[in-house]
Structure 1
Amino acid sequence: MPLMFRLWFLIFEIAITEYAALGWSFDNTAKVFNGQEVSSYTSSIPSVSLITCGSTCFSRKRNGMCNICGYDKVSKTCFLSDDSEDEIIFTSNDSKVVLKPVETVCESSEYLVNGGDPVSDDQFSASSVFQDLPNHGASKARLHSLPSSTSIGAWAVGTKDANQYIQVQLNGLSQVVGVAVQGRPLKANGCCDQRVTSYKVLYSWNCQQFLTVNDTNGMEMIFAGNTDQDTVVTSMLPKQVLALCVRINPVTWSSHIILRFDILGCRVFDGNKDQDTVETSILPSQVTALCARVNPVAYVDHISLRFDILGCPLN
């Protein structure tokens, strides 16, 4: 019997701020230390919650606007500070808090498209396909694909412009940390020198509303593509993102827009849409464990859950 998680609330991390408009809280982590306060601050934000302060602190640090943050539980004020950890003041007043932003990443990322739990062909889609030929279709774009009687071994666009994309719906909500790309595999006769030389990455938690991965300055990030057909070029995102669908949008190319690709990351499990319905998620393969942790990644209002672990004892 496969080991299974039974989860009773939504999955957490403190909150990727772009999702706030969609009614979710997503983020990376700001660790909270009670009985501490910053020695100085550059600005303050009144009348905010501790969670909002943590989310703000994380995004401001990413943009170089602070290092750590203080929070006063009584006045509900968030203090943005350039203090180092050595400058933190320890106090017996538990209403004083210091928040230290920490970006969490997948402990062991894997290929999410064609790895141990590969997606099906119908989970691929594209803006266009060369002459609508099936052997040039989006599902032919798996990393390390080779030419065959039914495939050129890659995806090829029908329209050569910077508005094209290839999309994959992952097998479940996942933390995405990177992208790996290849060009068109060479045939025995040397055809063809075709590859994407730069691209953007877009992602969505619902496969309808997409966000573009930005650099640390808030600008749309351009990733380096391939300089030959077969070398796998892997680019890590500046921060992990939570996604169900990922798009690769070619920006520049050699001869024709053609690529093979995979997505690096780790799977997370669906949580709850209400308080009482039991949501059961099955691991892609059973594991042997003495201890198990449930790590919330997204949540509504507050992190709260009831859970159980399903499996069978070994003794």
Structure 2
Amino acid sequence: PLGMESGAIPDDSITASSYWAIDHESYRGRLNGVGGVGAWAARTNNFDQWLQVFLGMVNHVTGTIIQGRHHHNDQWVTSYKLQYSIDGISWKTYTGNNGSEKVFPGNNDRSTPVTNLLVNHIDARYVRFLPQSWHNWMSMRVEILGCTMNSKFLLKA
């Protein structure tokens, strides 16, 4: 995990297209987070909404974990796409082996984490979750799986 749940990724590195109100902010979107209303919740339910994580340095991203809203209401994302960027300006959408944009399966309830591993890792400083379908409302908590590109490996000849 790259630091959403642990808090290694700072609150100000987690942004979103919008949020519903106080206690629904982007930084509430940490896996297993219980603060506020227990998730990031978008202001409106449409395909223009996203939750974005700035990883700082370039990382090898190998997967994601998502959850629904912790308490109050039954709200979760049932499918999503991933976008990624090095500079935060030029974005690519993750594609499957067939070259088309991959739609990942999401949650069936608000508490069970759903892990999706990437067939091909991506190198990114920014990762965006783009909800494509949801139950009741667009609310989510996330983690990003991977490792830093500056990880040292010992190779034997």
The TM-score, its normalising length taken from structure 2, stands at 0.92
The answer to whether residue 128 in structure 2 is matched with residue 238 in structure 1 is: no
Find the counterpart in structure 2 of residue 160 from structure 1.
45
Matched, 1:267 2:157: no
Aligned-residue sequence identity (percent) comes to: 35
Please, which runs of 5 or more residues in structure 1 have no aligned partner? 1-110, 270-282, 284-291, 296-315
Deviations 1:119-141 (A, max 9, x none): 110001101111xx231000010
State the AA in 2 paired with 1:140: R
1:297-308 mapped onto 2 (5 Å cutoff): none
* Mapped partners of 2:46, 2:4: distance in 1: 27
Call closer, same or farther: CA 1:153–1:268 in 2, change over 3 Å.
Answer: same
From the two aligned structures, give the one with the greater strand fraction. 2
- Give the structure with higher Rg (CA): 1
Cα deviation code 1:225-245 (max 9, x no counterpart): 000011000001121000000
Structure-2 separation of matches of 1:228 and 1:153: 14
- Structure with larger RCO (C-alpha < 8 A, sep 6+): 2
Equivalent in the alignment of 2:12? 122
Matches within 5 A, 1:69-148: 111-114=1-4, 118-130=8-20, 133-147=21-35
- Per-residue CA deviations over 1:187-238 (Å, capped at 9, x if unaligned) read xxxx311000000000011111110000101000000000001100000112
1:184 aligned to 2:69? yes
Q: Given residue 109 of structure 2, which amino acid in structure 1 is its aligned partner?
A: D
Residue segments in structure 2 that go unaligned for 5+ positions in a row: none
Letter of the 1:235 partner, please give it.
N
Higher helix share: 1
**Matched residue SS, 1:139:** helix
- CA distance in structure 2 between the aligned counterparts of 1:222 and 1:266, rounded to whole angstroms: 23
**Cα offset, 1:114, TM superposition:** 2.6
Q: Secondary structure at the match of 1:245?
A: strand
Change (3 A) 1:115 1:164: closer
CA distance in 2, matches of 1:117, 1:154: 15
Shift of 1:162: 1.4
Number of residue equivalences: 155
Task: Give the AA of the match of 1:181.
Answer: I
